[in-house]
Amino acid sequence: MVLQKWEVFQNEATDFLNSYFSINFTMDGGFDSTTSFITAQNVNRDITTIEAKFGSTQAGQIVLSTNGSKFEFCDKSKHDFNRNTMEIIKHLNSDYSLYKGTNTASIHVDISDKVLYNWVKDIYKEKNVEWIISSNKFNNLTLNDLLFVPINEIEKYFDISLVFRRKKTGNTHIPGKDIIDFKTQMDLITTDYKVKKTNNKYLLTLNERVSDFNIGSKYLLSMTNVDCQYFIKKKDINTNPNILFQMNLKDDIEFKGDNFKAKYNL
């Protein structure tokens, strides 16, 4: 499988740190572009964690819900609620009519950069991340290509912005209350099928493979490892409001290796 650029960068940044310092660095993230943590170890003891970010990058997001008159923090968010989250939601609610009608389009949120930088710092603090390594180049990295600084200095080296948009939350396994409606839709295609509930999920069994996984406009079939058997899912037709934090690396970068050595007595 061909690695994506952010994956190549994570691996090469980890290798570079191992060659530059006399301690051990391991990539503990890498499952997706939001889990990119490098752990620094000295004598089998974790001493700090480093965030690896390639180029322009998403620094985090907040999922919102709405009660019809204002936005609220949604527990689907990956990050915990903090004081800066409150400030951001308060700002959105001050112009609720501007954002409430947005479908999938993105809207720039005009808010103080200080609030955004503080939100990012607080999120990294929750994860015990103290440093960040970044570059606009993803491979064949040299010292001059890399930014390596403490997280609390990000405003010197990154521009930051906030974007409001709506994002689909993903298809879900069909709830029991919708099975009768699903069968009504299925009967329009074929009546030769069986529906069985197992482990709180509904399985559809047919006598032959389907050519179209869509069942009506609301339902979707998902393959299992058994031939002609499918999970029944309900399509996500709603969108959740999201706010995305975007960081763009500035031209002037530094590699503060000596500061790192001094902080951890290396």
Question: Out of 13-22, 24-33, 211-220, 222-231, which region has the weakest mean confidence (pLDDT)?
Answer: 24-33
* pLDDT value for 231: 93
Distance CA 40, CA 13 (A): 12
Do 52 and 67 fall into the same domain?
Answer: no
If one compares 239 and 118, the residue with the highest pLDDT of the two is 118
For residue 35, pLDDT over 70 is answered with: no
Residue 182: inside a domain: yes
Structural domains of the chain, count:
3
Do 94 and 139 fall into the same domain?
Answer: no
Q: How many CA atoms lie within 13 A of 146 on its CB side?
A: 24
* pLDDT value for 168: 59
* pLDDT value for 106: 83
Q: How sure is the predictor about 165, in pLDDT bands with cuts at 50, 70 and 90?
A: confident
For residue 237, pLDDT over 80 is answered with: no
Do 49 and 141 fall into the same domain?
Answer: yes
Residue 201: inside a domain: yes
* pLDDT value for 78: 78
For residue 133, give every residue at least 6 positions away whose Cβ sits within 8 Å of its Cβ, in sequence order, or none.
13, 17, 38, 50, 51, 52, 53, 146, 147, 148
Do 139 and 38 fall into the same domain?
Answer: yes
Do 33 and 154 fall into the same domain?
Answer: yes
* pLDDT value for 66: 87
Mean pLDDT of the chain: 88
For residue 137, pLDDT over 90 is answered with: yes
Do 200 and 183 fall into the same domain?
Answer: yes
Residue 167: inside a domain: no
Residue 130: inside a domain: yes
Q: Which domain holds residue 186?
A: 172-234
Do 184 and 98 fall into the same domain?
Answer: no
* pLDDT value for 170: 64
